[in-house]
Chain A
Amino acid sequence: MWIVIIGLVAGILLGLTFPIILPLSFAQYLSIALLAALDTAFGGARAGLEGRFVPVTFVSGLIANAILAALLTFLGNKLGVPLYYAALFAFGFRIFQNLGSIRHLLVDRWIKSRSKLHETSI
C-alpha cells in the first residue's frame, strides 16, 4: 500500500517538474484513460479489502482499461459518435459501486473490531 502512495506522489512531483507538456489534443484521451485507471484502482482496493487481490488481474485490468477507453474515444471521434460518454458513464458507475462496497467493508470491519474490543473488556 505504501509503495503505491509513494509512487503516486513521486509520479505527480515528477510530472509537475517535467519540462514537456503533452499536446492539447491528447487531453480527452488522457482524461478517459485516467478515469479507467481510477476505476481499476478502486476495484483493486476493494479486492484487497475482500482478500481477493490478484496483482496480475489488477495490472492487466489497469493497462487494458486505460488503453481500451482511449481507443474507444479515438474511434468515437473518427466516427463522429460520442462514444466517450459511454466509457464515462460505465467507469463513473463502477467507481461509485466500488466506493460503496469499500465503505461497507470498512464499516463492517470497524463494527467487528469494536465488538471484539467490547467482548475482551468483559
Chain B
Amino acid sequence: MASQGWKIGLGSIAVILGLLVSQQIRLVGALHHTTRVQQGRILTFLVTRTLQGNHTLEAQVHRLASRLNQEPGTNLAPVRRQLLQAQQLAGLQGTQGPGVVVTIRDATGKSYPGEPSIFELVHDQYILHIVAVLSAAGARAITINNQRVVATTAIFCAGPTIRVNGINYGSPFIIRAVGPSRALLSAMAQDPDIQGWSQLVSIRTAAVRIVRVAAYRLPIDFSVAKPARTAKSAR
C-alpha cells in the first residue's frame, strides 16, 4: 500500500516537473519573440544592409576616381592637393605620424571614506579638456576611441558613458593624437586640471613613434547650415 502511495507521489511530481518544463519552453519562446529582441534583429539587419551599401558605394567612388585619373588631358594634381588638404583639415583622411596615446580609466583603487562615487568616473569635461590641451600643444589629428574629432564632434556625458559623435563609450577612453610628442607630453604633464584629475581617475600618457588616427566615417549632415554668400561667391 505504501509503495502504491509512493508511486502516485512520484507520478504527481513528474507531472509537476513536466508542467514546469513546458512552461519554461513557452517562456523562452516568448522571450525570443518579445518586441525588444525583434527590434534588435531588425536593427542588426538594417546596420548590416547599410554597411554593405557603404562598401558598394566606396568601391564605386574608387572606380570613378581611377577612371577620372585615366582620362587624357586632365591635370588633376593641384585639385587633388587642395582636396587632400581640405580632407585633412576636415578629418576625412586617415592620418599617421608621431604623437601620444592618452588612456583614461575610471578609478580602480579604493575610494577615500565619504568620497562621492561621482569622483571615480571619467567625465566629459576631462575628455574635452584633454582634447583642448592636445590641440593647443600642436596636435593635428585626434581620435577618442577611434572617433575622429571633427568640426561637428560633440563630447558629453550620457549616464555612466560618454557620447562622442553620437556613439556611447564606456571606460577606458583612448585618445590618440598626432603631433609633436614632446610638446604634447609636456602640455599634459604641466596642466594643473589634468594633474588634479589624475588623483581621482587613471590618466596615462605615452609617446608613440607612429600613431594611426582613423578618418571620420559617420554621415555628414549640413542640411541646416548652408554655405554663406560672400562677395567672392556672388561674382
B6: which A residues are within 8 A, CB to CB?
A: 55
User: How far, in whole Å, are A3 and B34 apart by their CA atoms in the complex?
Assistant: 37
- How many positions in chain B have a CB within 8 Å of any CB in the partner chain? 26
CB distance from B156 to the nearest CB of A (A): 28
The A interface, classified by DSSP as helix, strand, loop or mixed, is helix
Question: Contact at B24–A4, with CB atoms within 8 Å?
Answer: no
Question: Contact at B18–A21, with CB atoms within 8 Å?
Answer: no
A34: which B residues are within 8 A, CB to CB?
A: 17, 20-21, 24
Neighbour of A27 across the interface among B8, B10, B17, B28, CB < 8 A: B28
Interface presence of B132 (CB below 8 A): no
- Stretch among A7-15, A80-88, A96-104, A106-114 lining the B interface: A7-15
Interface presence of B19 (CB below 8 A): yes
Interface presence of B51 (CB below 8 A): no
Neighbour of B19 across the interface among A18, A33, A55, CB < 8 A: A18
B14: which A residues are within 8 A, CB to CB?
A: 3-8, 10-11
CB distance from B130 to the nearest CB of A (A): 32
A47: which B residues are within 8 A, CB to CB?
A: none
**A interface bracket (residues with beta carbon within 8 Å of B):** 20 to 34
Q: B1-27 CB contact bits vs A (8 Å, 1 = yes)?
A: 000001111111111111111111111
- Chain B residues numbered 183-230 whose CB sits less than 8 Å from any CB in chain A: none
Question: Contact at A31–B24, with CB atoms within 8 Å?
Answer: yes
Interface presence of A95 (CB below 8 A): no
Interface presence of B59 (CB below 8 A): no
Task: Tell me whether A26 and B27 are in contact in the complex, defined as CB-CB below 8 angstroms, given that A55-B6, A55-B9, A62-B13 are known contacts.
Answer: yes
Question: Contact at A12–B27, with CB atoms within 8 Å?
Answer: no
In this complex, what residue of B is CB-closest to A14? B19
Known: A11-B15, A34-B24, A37-B17. 6 other contacts (CB 8 A): A4-B11, A7-B10, A10-B14, A11-B18, A18-B23, A34-B20
Residues on B lying within 8 angstroms of A by beta carbon are 6-28, 30-31, 34
Q: Which 3 A-B pairs have the closest CB atoms?
A: A11-B18, A15-B22, A7-B14
